Amino acid sequence: MSKRSEIIDGNKAATEKYGLVYTEVLGWVDLGHAQGTDIRNLLSQMTQGEASEKEFYDVRYSQGMAGIWSQVRSGKVMTWRIRRGRPYWEQKSIALAMMMSMARKFETFQGSFPNNLVTDSGLSGEDLVSDLLGFYRVVSAQNPFGMLRPVSKEEALKRWDYYGKIGSWKNDTFQPLLFPDPKKFPNSRPYKGVLPPFMRTVVPYNDFLSGNVILPRHNKTFVVLGAGNSRMGL
Amino acid sequence: MKKFITVSVVLGLVGVALAFGWPYIKMGFASSAYYTERDKPEYEYYTPELLKKMPRISDDYAFEFGNVSGPEASVFTVRYHGTSETRNIHRYLVSAGYSPQSQCDVEAECWRSQDSKDIVTVIKYTSPDSVVVQIYRSPYND
């Protein structure tokens, strides 16, 4: 759930790991979502699987939320089975497909009862596009902010104050939601933008009939109590 | 009558527990918090030991906590204003078992320790001068 107090100056986007910046290309970016740590973990599971002797290996990906010093964690987890021998370009494509399908599931989970009592974050305008930016920061552009044109804190606050909190602008796609400068374009409304070319280079995997990637029959929801358990999804 | 009294007492106790515990429950589920060392409940609740012991390299400093849902993570921050001198911070991180990393996924210095999966970043800003120390804790960290 993004708050007004989390807005930081755009020139800090490449250095900080938390905060909200407004960019002219992607709209609002939640830096916490855009770190790509989850993707790095997923790709390293694939590297390990490819280095093994097994014909198939499993990769696990989860998204979650935590409270009270991580004593309570809940979220969604899924495991895909992959036939060894996938080239790196295909590994990236599988990772993207996993992240995209999980992010949608998680945001819907977050927007449903009882999670919606504590957060208005479910499919908030900036979440999915920030997750996608996290993916590309790992696979192609570590510091993409020069291409995204982040604005100053004052400019970002101006948009927040004019359009209201972003949690109320829902976006269930991975496309940017842009908020035009209210001074230059009075009476305008947010509109869907186009992803920059560097964020369109990997196609999410969809060749599920090949037998190289096997989807689970069920996706699991997890709730964990106790900080001792930091394993993902368990 | 006896049952009524028991139920009332139990409800009363639950009410009192909730009234006292509510600020902590609220802090526990907050997505972010901005506070100083003078805000005792927040300082005690959110601040990890490493940041509590971080040298105060300026008199003007403040803390932040961020809870990321989705690609799950907690981010703990201390921000010092009016200085860009990081020598004491480096010295402290070394004494706490951290060492500088050759690679960092943000435009800052990354430090890691063998005892923890946390990633500590030290950021130096100029005009205006400030120094930021950030701890990134995530179940995805290697």
pLDDT confidence bin for A117, thresholds 50/70/90? low
Tell which residue, B136, B121, B132, has the closest CA to residue B63: B132
Cβ–Cβ gap A3/B71 under 8 Å: no
Q: How far is CA B131 from CA A135, A176, B62, B65, in A?
A: 28, 32, 11, 16
Structure tokens at B72: 């799950």
CB atoms within 10 A of CB A194: 11
Residue pair B101/B110 in contact by the 8 Å Cβ criterion = yes
Omega cis (within 30) before A114: yes
Task: Establish, for the pair of chains A and B, how many residue pairs have beta carbons separated by less than 8 Å.
Answer: 122
Q: Is the pLDDT of residue A229 over 50?
A: no
Instruction: State the nearest Cα–Cα gap between B5 and chain A, in angstroms.
Output: 32
Instruction: Report pLDDT for A72.
Output: 76
pLDDT confidence bin for A7, thresholds 50/70/90? very high
Residue B85 contacts A, CB cutoff 8 Å: no
Among B72, B123, B141, the strongest candidate for a mutation testing the A interface, having the largest count of A CBs within 10 A, is B72
The predicted-structure confidence for A30-64, as pLDDT tens digits, reads as follows 999 999 999 999 999 999 999 999 999 999 999 98
CA distance A141 to A129: 15
Among A4, A12, A17, the strongest candidate for a mutation testing the B interface, having the largest count of B CBs within 10 A, is A17
Q: Is the pLDDT of residue B20 over 60?
A: yes
Residue pair B97/B53 in contact by the 8 Å Cβ criterion = no
Q: Which range is least confidently modeled, A6-10, A124-128, B64-68? A: A124-128
CB atoms within 10 A of CB A113: 6
Cβ–Cβ gap A119/B64 under 8 Å: no
Q: Is the pLDDT of residue A227 over 90?
A: no
CA nearest A41 in B: which residue?
B140
Residue B108 contacts A, CB cutoff 8 Å: yes
The larger pLDDT score, comparing residue A113 to residue B98, is at B98
Instruction: Report pLDDT for A228.
Output: 47
| DSSP label of A139 | H
The type of residue at A106 is F
Q: Is the pLDDT of residue B27 over 90?
A: no
Q: Is the pLDDT of residue A211 over 70?
A: yes
Cβ–Cβ gap A18/B139 under 8 Å: no
Cβ–Cβ gap A18/B138 under 8 Å: no
The larger pLDDT score, comparing residue A102 to residue B7, is at A102
Burial bucket for residue B131 (CB in 10 Å: 0-12, 13-18, 19+): buried
Residue pair A26/A137 in contact by the 8 Å Cβ criterion = no
Mean pLDDT of the region A68-93: 89
Mean pLDDT value across chain A? 88
Cβ–Cβ gap B29/A3 under 8 Å: no
Note the pTM of the prediction, 2 decimals: 0.89
The larger pLDDT score, comparing residue A131 to residue A164, is at A131
Instruction: Report pLDDT for B29.
Output: 73
The predicted-structure confidence for B53-102, as pLDDT tens digits, reads as follows 999 999 999 999 999 988 999 999 999 999 999 999 999 999 999 999 99
Sign of the torsion formed by the C-alpha atoms of B46, B48, B53 and B54: negative
Q: What is the ipTM of this complex?
A: 0.88
Find tokens 């009862």 and name the residue.
A113
How many residues appear in chain B? 142
